[in-house]
Amino acid sequence: MALKFSSVLGGAVSQLGWEDLGSKPSGVVCNWGKGTAETPSVVFSGLSTHRGIKSLDDGNPSNPGTELQGIVDKVDNNDSGRIHRDLASFPKPLSVTDISAAPKDGTKVRISYKGVPGAYSEDAALKAYPHCETVPCDEFEDAFKAVELWLAEKAVLPIENSLGGSIHRNYDLLLRHRLHIVGEVQLAVNLCLLAIPGVGIDQLRRVLSHPQALAQSDIILSKLGVSRENVDDSAGAAQYVASHGLRDAGVVASARAAEIYGLNILAERIQDDFDNITRFLVLARDPIIPRTNKLFKTSIVFTLEEGPGVLFKALAVFALRDINLTKIESRPQRKKPLRVVDDSNTGSAKYFDYLFYIDFEASMAEPRAQTALAHLQEFATFLRVLGCYPMDSFP
Ligand SMILES: O=C(O)C(=O)C[C@]1(C(=O)O)C=C[C@@H](O)C=C1
């Protein structure tokens, strides 16, 4: 039964999309609903929960996890001739235009991620949900859509790395989609240098991987003097080099990718800094009920009027209540990227409008978090709570 009460802020946490960014939200209503006793959920007013969309579980291929294990069992690392014979049987990544490869096993929680089996994102999904069925997707956006279309229950997506910084694409997608952040996963990323069996480091002329993985191993790649080639994900690079039998190309990817695609590990822990942590967000169709029994984090996005000290004022709403900020990110507002000042203004000719993303250490169940957001709402031109979720205590 739905338990509803209106709350939290004296003003509203709006659920506006890009099209709404121009207008200032007016009042605050949050409806805290209860899904089931085990999985309570908060429903923000005005949010579609997509309950009318039917899951497309039927008529799809087999469980990627089981299939993978079979393939790994067949791979013989010492016999390069036998490496790739089973690549065609891998689960086909979902894409916006083709969702025919929807997963089948309805008994396990399905987690979408961007990449192919062996990607670090899949490691993160398995860390958060060890018994899950992972759903590979072509693009980050496909992973969002897989959840929106009920092909997956949750998505796990990288948001920042301790060496490479923010993954901007996912900040932008958080705002374009209506999924909620329900958790975070911090993963120690152990980058390995891989090559096909029989190839040594000195034979490598180029190295392929995801741009973040290449950036994180900048020092060793510079020393090797190899050229770098960006590909969509690290495991995809391993699959490509393996299936084409490239002898001049190395790959930066996981040890699991080496095992899956039959590559040799030439070097391990090649990241610039031993501690290489990527933070992933767990996204779901429904938010979870914020609690105070453990450490919670809240993620918001807002816009401000132009003017001196406005950002300072926005940050002060948290400082005044002793709320610690863990992340600040700004992204251009793409619908109105550039504003030109009028002719009478002799100052700089152009400036940009930004969206500000903030993570802070407090639960929305705490009065100090509620009053801080009510305060911010007084002068923010747009405000959306992206999620309130338990903090991941690494490792
Ligand atoms: O390429 C992969 O394996 C990914 O999962 C992507 C990704 C990223 O986007 O940051 C994830 C973790 C690592 O930081 C490197 C790459």
Q: Is 161 in the pocket of ligand 1 (CB under 6 A)?
A: yes
Residue 169 CB partners (closer than 8 Å, separation 6+): 140
Taking the centre of ligand 1 as the mean of its atom positions, its distance from the CA of residue 234, in whole angstroms, is 7
Best residue for ligand 1 mutational test, from 112, 114, 121, 270 (most atoms within 8 Å of Cβ):
121
Q: Is 13 in the pocket of ligand 1 (CB under 6 A)?
A: no
Out of 134, 278, 298, 303, the active site residue is 278
For ligand 1, what atom is nearest to the CA of residue 118? Answer: 3
Residue 60 CB partners (closer than 8 Å, separation 6+): 100, 101, 102, 103, 104
In whole angstroms, what separates CA 338 from the centre of its chain?
27
Looking at residue 353, its pLDDT comes to 83
CA-CA-CA-CA torsion for 393, 324, 275, 192, nearest 10 degrees? Answer: 80
CATH code linked to domain 18-49+286-390: 3.30.70.260
20-34, 49-63, 248-262: segment of lowest average pLDDT: 49-63
Looking at residue 163, its pLDDT comes to 85
Query: Does residue 319 surpass a pLDDT of 70?
Result: yes
Name which of 183, 215, 190 is nearest 111 in CA terms: 183
Query: Does residue 61 surpass a pLDDT of 50?
Result: no
d(CA 99, CA 112): 12
Query: Atom 12 in ligand 1: which residue has the minimum CA distance?
Result: 120
> Sorting pLDDT into bands at 50, 70 and 90, what band is 307?
confident
Angle at 270 between CA 85 and CA 128, to 5 degrees: 70
Q: Where are the domains of the chain?
A: 18-49+286-390, 64-189, 192-267
Looking at residue 9, its pLDDT comes to 29
d(CA 363, CA 79): 54
Looking at residue 87, its pLDDT comes to 53
pTM: 0.74
Highest mean pLDDT of the ranges 49-63, 156-170, 251-265, 335-349: 251-265
Looking at residue 355, its pLDDT comes to 93
Architecture of the domain made up of 64-189: 3-Layer(aba) Sandwich (3.40)
| Fold agreement between 18-49+286-390 and 192-267 | no
pLDDT 10s digits, 172-206: 999 999 999 999 999 999 999 999 999 999 999 99
Query: Atom 14 in ligand 1: which residue has the minimum CA distance?
Result: 278
For ligand 1, what atom is nearest to the CA of residue 233? Answer: 1
For ligand 1, what atom is nearest to the CA of residue 123? Answer: 5
Better pLDDT: 250 or 67:
250
Looking at residue 90, its pLDDT comes to 57
> Sorting pLDDT into bands at 50, 70 and 90, what band is 50?
very low
From residue 203, how far is each of 168, 193, 333, 349 by CA, in Å?
35, 13, 46, 52
Query: Does residue 3 surpass a pLDDT of 60?
Result: no
Better pLDDT: 55 or 164:
164
pLDDT 10s digits, 195-204: 999 999 999 9
Looking at residue 131, its pLDDT comes to 93
Q: What percent of the chain has pLDDT over 90?
A: 61
Out of 90, 144, 280, 360, the active site residue is 280
Q: Class of 192-267 per CATH?
A: alpha beta
pLDDT 10s digits, 102-152: 555 557 899 999 999 999 999 999 999 999 999 999 999 999 999 999 999
d(CA 330, CA 302): 10
Q: Is 314 in the pocket of ligand 1 (CB under 6 A)?
A: no
Q: Is 213 in the pocket of ligand 1 (CB under 6 A)?
A: yes
Looking at residue 348, its pLDDT comes to 52
Name which of 393, 374, 380, 375 is nearest 30 in CA terms: 374
Mean pLDDT of the chain: 77
| Number of C-beta neighbours around residue 368 at 10 A | 14
Write out the H or E segment, with its range, that includes residue 300. Answer: strand 296-304
Q: Is 140 in the pocket of ligand 1 (CB under 6 A)?
A: no
Q: What is the 3-state secondary structure (H, E, C) of 346-387?
A: CCCCEECCEEEEEEECCCCCCHHHHHHHHHHHHHEEEEEEEE
Looking at residue 294, its pLDDT comes to 87
Taking the centre of ligand 1 as the mean of its atom positions, its distance from the CA of residue 232, in whole angstroms, is 9
Q: Is 380 in the pocket of ligand 1 (CB under 6 A)?
A: no
Query: Atom 10 in ligand 1: which residue has the minimum CA distance?
Result: 212
Taking the centre of ligand 1 as the mean of its atom positions, its distance from the CA of residue 192, in whole angstroms, is 13
Looking at residue 98, its pLDDT comes to 53
Active site residue 280: yes
Better pLDDT: 336 or 239:
239
Sign of CA dihedral 92, 234, 185, 97: negative
- Contact, 101 vs 60, CB < 8 A? yes
Better pLDDT: 17 or 395:
395
Looking at residue 105, its pLDDT comes to 57
Query: Does residue 262 surpass a pLDDT of 60?
Result: yes
Name which of 279, 359, 346 is nearest 315 in CA terms: 359
Within 13 Å of residue 81, how many CA atoms lie on the same side as its CB?
Answer: 0
Place of tokens 């009053």: 371
**What number is the average pLDDT over the span 267-296?**
93
**What number is the average pLDDT over the span 317-338?**
88
d(CA 330, CA 314): 13
Active site residue 379: no
Residue 162 has which token pair? Answer: 């301790």
Full strand arrangement of the beta sheet holding 249-253: 227-230, 206-209, 249-253, 192-195, 264-267
Taking the centre of ligand 1 as the mean of its atom positions, its distance from the CA of residue 74, in whole angstroms, is 26
Q: Is 280 in the pocket of ligand 1 (CB under 6 A)?
A: no
Query: Does residue 12 surpass a pLDDT of 60?
Result: no
One DSSP character per residue, 140-205 reads HHHHHHHHHTTS-SEEEEEEEETTTEE-HHHHHHHHHS--EEEEEEEEE---EEEE-TT--GGG-S
For 278, the 3-state DSSP assignment is strand
Taking the centre of ligand 1 as the mean of its atom positions, its distance from the CA of residue 319, in whole angstroms, is 33
d(CA 8, CA 124): 32
For ligand 1, what atom is nearest to the CA of residue 122? Answer: 5
Residue 284 CB partners (closer than 8 Å, separation 6+): 147, 153, 154, 155, 179, 180, 182
Taking the centre of ligand 1 as the mean of its atom positions, its distance from the CA of residue 391, in whole angstroms, is 21
76-85, 150-159, 376-385: segment of lowest average pLDDT: 76-85
**What number is the average pLDDT over the span 232-257?**
96
